[in-house]
Amino acid sequence: MSLRSSQAEDFFGSATKIVRIELTRVRGSSPREAGTEMFVSADRLFGTIGGGQLEHIVITKARTMLADGTLETHLDLPLGPEIGQCCGGRVELVLKRMRRSDVDDALGRLRSAENALPHVYVMGAGHVGRAIADLLQHAPVHCVLVDMRKEELAQSNARVDMRLRAIPEVEIFNAPEGSAFIVLTHDHGLDFLLTSAALELGHASYVGMIGSATKRAKLRSWCLSHCDGLEIDQLTCPIGAAGSRDKRPEIIAAFVAAEVLAALTAGDLAAGGREETALLQAAQ
């Protein structure tokens, strides 16, 4: 079970009275999009509609509903100086007390959303691989930590999908379309094999290999000789090098995780930009 699934099961299993909050309409700039939901009990929260003063107001309203027995409330709130925010948009929300069937439906939606998460394969459970898995367990991805060495996998405490594989490239061949691959094994030859396999898929959202400019050049030469001239233009190597020269595993991991998440959400960002442009044009 993933970290988020565990948190969801714990929240819904421990609370007897819960209010579901849904953003039903967004106009202009907003911290979250329409359809976003969160859940509030008397003393706990699960999910977020964007934080800040908006969330504070809505949580307070939800807990008032729990106290006075109100079943449903609709809110229409400006995201401007009126509530101490500066987004400039406006949101509409529905707050509703949940029945047992509503809880079951919510858990079903969360499970379906989790099953649809993009896969990120961390090919190698060494120091950097484990540090990346530690970060990605909190991200909206299905992180798979793969290694041939049982003792290395055993050192990871991350709540991710751990797979001991004698032939790790099988994971790449069976990966869902649009997956991301981070290659950082204990062996350069294995790195080359796994990286070329990921590039050959033709549908990876991200392929990164730990190393240097020299290692990248050696891989290019190797691919020309052993992979029918496979191009490596889509490869990120070295990984995590854009933001810092610090080579501690935790620092590298932070920048690698940022690279991967940027690649996986690039389409979402583009869609958000188009939506905001359309809203601005409509307002003119």
Predicted pLDDT at 277: 39
Residue 81 has what DSSP assignment?
G
Is 189's pLDDT higher than 70? Answer: yes
What digits encode the pLDDT tens for the residues 38-74? Answer: 999 999 999 999 888 899 999 999 999 999 999 999 9
Amino acid at 193: L
- Find the range with the poorest average confidence among 145-159, 228-242, 263-277: 263-277
Q: Which residue has the tokens 């649809």?
A: 116
Tokens of 255: 């920048």
Q: Work out the angle between the directed axes of helices 249-264 and 127-136 (0-180°, nearest 10).
A: 50
State the chain's mean pLDDT as an integer. Answer: 90
Are 96 and 20 contacting, i.e. CB atoms less than 8 angstroms apart?
yes
What is the pLDDT, as a whole number, of residue 245? 83
Do the strands 90-97 and 19-27 form a parallel or antiparallel pair, or are they unpaired? antiparallel
Q: How far is CA 41 from CA 13, 73, 106, 125, in A?
A: 11, 16, 14, 38
Domain ranges of the chain: 3-114, 117-267
Round to whole Å and give the CA distance between 41 and 20: 9
Token output for 200: 């050959």
pLDDT 10s digits, 79-91: 876 666 666 688 9
The pLDDT tens digits of the residues spanning 104-125 come to 999 999 989 889 999 999 999 9
Distance CA 24, CA 271 (A): 19
Q: Which CATH superfamily is domain 117-267 in?
A: NAD(P)-binding Rossmann-like Domain (3.40.50.720)
Full strand arrangement of the beta sheet holding 119-123: 161-164, 142-147, 119-123, 180-183, 206-209, 235-236
pLDDT, position 280: 36
> What tens digit of pLDDT does each residue of 15-37 get?
889 999 999 999 888 889 999 99
